[in-house]
């Protein structure tokens, strides 16, 4: 019997920001990190939501690799914005690769708040 693949028990996603306090129009640099596992039949998601209604930024690294992505973004209006990086398998439920091998579905996120001062 072949050994079962080892999967991380707690998949993670992370987001860092160059400034948590900024001014309207000033660029803020976001760095996102995480990895994706190769699971057949799934459509993995790795996204950054800047919290101001801008379109999601999507990252798609090669399977099984560590991702580090950088995105510059400027906020137009003063306020507080919750920035979210999300990583998910995109699977409909637990999958079986071979008898006895179960791959867990994961959907994890990390948030940070950016304040734009007038």
Residue 37 lies inside a defined structural domain of this protein = yes
Q: How many domains does the chain have?
A: 1
The pLDDT of residue 2 is above 60? no
3-class secondary-structure state, position 82: strand
Question: How distant is the alpha carbon of residue 112 from its chain centre?
Answer: 12
Return the pLDDT at 77.
97
pTM for the model: 0.76
- CA distances 32 to 39, 71, 78, 115, 117, Å, are 22, 8, 23, 19, 24
pLDDT of 75-93, one tens digit each?
999 999 999 998 887 776 6
Residue 2 lies inside a defined structural domain of this protein = no
Quick check: 45 and 58 in contact, CB under 8 A? yes
Model confidence at 7, pLDDT cuts 50, 70, 90, reads very low
Return the pLDDT at 3.
44
> Which CATH number characterizes residue 105's domain?
2.60.40.10
Q: 67 is in which domain, residue-wise? A: 13-116
Model confidence at 73, pLDDT cuts 50, 70, 90, reads very high
Residue 98 lies inside a defined structural domain of this protein = yes
């Amino acid at each position: 019997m072949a050994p079962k693949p080892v999967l991380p028990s707690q998949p993670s996603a992370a987001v860092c920001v160059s400034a948590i306090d900024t001014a309207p129009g000033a660029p803020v640099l976001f760095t996102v990190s995480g990895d994706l596992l190769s699971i057949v039949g799934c459509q993995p998601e790795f996204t950054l939501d800047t919290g101001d209604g801008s379109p999601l930024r999507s990252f798609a690294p090669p399977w099984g690799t560590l991702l580090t992505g950088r995105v510059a973004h400027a906020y137009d209006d003063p306020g507080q914005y919750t920035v979210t990086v999300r990583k998910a398998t995109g699977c409909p439920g637990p999958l079986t690769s071979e008898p006895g091998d179960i791959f867990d579905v994961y959907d994890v996120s990390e948030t940070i708040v950016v304040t734009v001062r007038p």
